[in-house]
Structure 1
């Protein structure tokens, strides 16, 4: 337990520095964009005098270090700036769009976990037999196929040829839970398949390694049912590595959700960042990137904690 608390403390101490690094990276990258924040805020028809006055009033002429300090101060107060005219707070747009992206990612993660566990465990239990061979081929195909192409194929088959799901759009769960699930089912599947395909291989490998260990043969030899050994010991011990890999894949899914949202016309962070890029609005792009990056860092901290909980060597120290 002492070792667990020590490692937990290290993760928590490192978190602020990771978040600081994320904000610094985003700030530096935004300096290389060709758009002028003053022109975006005032409009293309603004006079040089108005642009110069805006830059002076908003500290855009200050050294980059001073600008970064002001940038951090605004972030700490939840201020991402305003959009291009007609001006409105970027934080309000993010507050509206981000829950949808989280919902889509959450559904995608659940589907990926279910597919990976069912197929990965099946492949391990039927090692080198035909179910294992079929699942290997499917996992390789899933890894090789990008999520946006899967989304297009799903729309073609299940929204146009067989109109079981809508081609796009979003239904609020408060209005209709079934409609909400129906609107997010295809995009979540498109998001989940590549991640599930990579996790299947990890789950299979971890399960095979555990099944070959001496404690499994000893338990079965002592009369413990094989299914109980797998359920109570093998499965739990085998999940340590897949959980770690899942943390990285969730970050991939957050980024992939932005593309999938665009394909399915979902008003999430994807549509928001596309609108920001199209309008040259650096405040929107900056705000979306920071929120996604910070979410990724926090999710990986949670996954690290799950790893510490699942790892028996840490728990027994």
Structure 2
């Protein structure tokens, strides 16, 4: 554990310049975007040029770009992401309200993707080149080719409208009704997770097949160990390295895909918050959502790095 702690400390130090780079990139993109906070603030009020100028001067929008960046970083270090020009609420409060739902959707989708990919990938590898393996290949190829928004629309049409098994949209807090929460989150989570599960299934199958062909597996089976023990104790531990790599990258897809899925199912999460902010020209909210999503992606990949070390002791030695 001491080795893992030292490696984790080094990674945390390296995160500092990475996060500063993300902040700089988001800052520059938003400053060159065609969104004027002053016009958004006076939306529908027909402001005079002097009112627009006073607003920009009062909020530091006329300061030199380097000075604005320093103020921006300083505000972030104090937990201040600015004020929404439309709702007049702090952006942090809006994100705090929307983020829990997005995290629920993301991790529910992640759990579904992991379970489905492990079951299908391992079973296909054990029965390779047989009928079940061919069926899993067709399923995974179909899932990779199917975009999440298309799956979402199909599920709404057949499972919600035609069969009435699930609601077409909306959200119920799990504190109010766990059953209602599951019914409102099942279709969005499936639409978000199935493409990821399909891709992971192919990777899990390939990784397990490569491990099954190695000498130590034949030796273990030949010595009388049950195949279930060999696969569960040795093969999986060595085969999970590549799937973990892809899983860390696909978490970014899940966070980004939540934007579309939340909009389709009318879920009041980060995705809907960002879409509404873009439509209404609210740069502070857009900036806050993008930064939060980027930092979340970095943190998830840090967790994946730690899982590497736990799964494969050889990586600890190399590190």
Instruction: Give yes or no for TM over 0.5.
Output: yes
CA contact (8 A) 1:83 1:89 kept: yes
Secondary structure of 2:63's partner? coil
Q: 1:230 is matched with which residue?
A: 231
Query: How far is the alpha carbon of 1:24 from its aligned partner?
Result: 0.8
1:92-129 superposed Cα distances (whole Å, 9 cap, x missing partner): 11111110000000100000000000000011001111
Q: 2:280 is matched with which residue?
A: 279
Query: How far is the alpha carbon of 1:41 from its aligned partner?
Result: 2.3
Count of matched residue positions in the alignment of Structure 1 and Structure 2 = 317
Q: 1:126 is matched with which residue?
A: 127
CA contact (8 A) 2:308 2:315 kept: no
Q: 1:111 is matched with which residue?
A: 112
Aligned pairs (5 A) from 1:26-175? 26-43=26-43, 44-175=45-176
2-side partners of 1:30 and 1:52: how far apart?
19
CA contact (8 A) 1:37 1:282 kept: yes
Query: How far is the alpha carbon of 1:211 from its aligned partner?
Result: 0.7
1:232-278 superposed Cα distances (whole Å, 9 cap, x missing partner): 11112111111111010011000001110000010111111111011
Query: How far is the alpha carbon of 1:2 from its aligned partner?
Result: 6.8
1:257-307 superposed Cα distances (whole Å, 9 cap, x missing partner): 111000001011111111101111111111111111111111111111111
Moved more, 260-269 or 227-236: 227-236
User: RMSD across aligned C-alpha pairs, in angstroms?
Assistant: 1.4
CA contact (8 A) 2:102 2:269 kept: yes
CA contact (8 A) 1:112 1:195 kept: yes
Query: How far is the alpha carbon of 1:314 from its aligned partner?
Result: 2.4
1-side partners of 2:244 and 2:88: how far apart?
43
CA 160–235 in structure 1, closer or farther in 2 if over 3 Å, else same: same
2-side partners of 1:208 and 1:3: how far apart?
31
CA contact (8 A) 1:4 1:314 kept: no
Q: 1:291 is matched with which residue?
A: 292
CA 86–232 in structure 1, closer or farther in 2 if over 3 Å, else same: closer
Query: How far is the alpha carbon of 1:50 from its aligned partner?
Result: 1.8
Gaps of 5+ in 2: none
2-side partners of 1:202 and 1:17: how far apart?
32
CA contact (8 A) 1:3 1:314 kept: no
CA contact (8 A) 1:109 1:250 kept: yes
1-side partners of 2:62 and 2:147: how far apart?
43
1:49-90 superposed Cα distances (whole Å, 9 cap, x missing partner): 122122222221111111111111111122121222441112
2-side partners of 1:138 and 1:297: how far apart?
31
Moved more, 3-12 or 210-219: 3-12
Q: 2:242 is matched with which residue?
A: 241
CA contact (8 A) 1:94 1:269 kept: yes
Gaps of 5+ in 1: none
CA 242–86 in structure 1, closer or farther in 2 if over 3 Å, else same: closer
1:170-210 superposed Cα distances (whole Å, 9 cap, x missing partner): 00000000100110000000001000000001101110111
1-side partners of 2:87 and 2:196: how far apart?
40
TM-score (norm 2): 0.96
Query: How far is the alpha carbon of 1:169 from its aligned partner?
Result: 0.2
1-side partners of 2:205 and 2:164: how far apart?
35
TM-score (norm 1): 0.96
2-side partners of 1:130 and 1:168: how far apart?
38
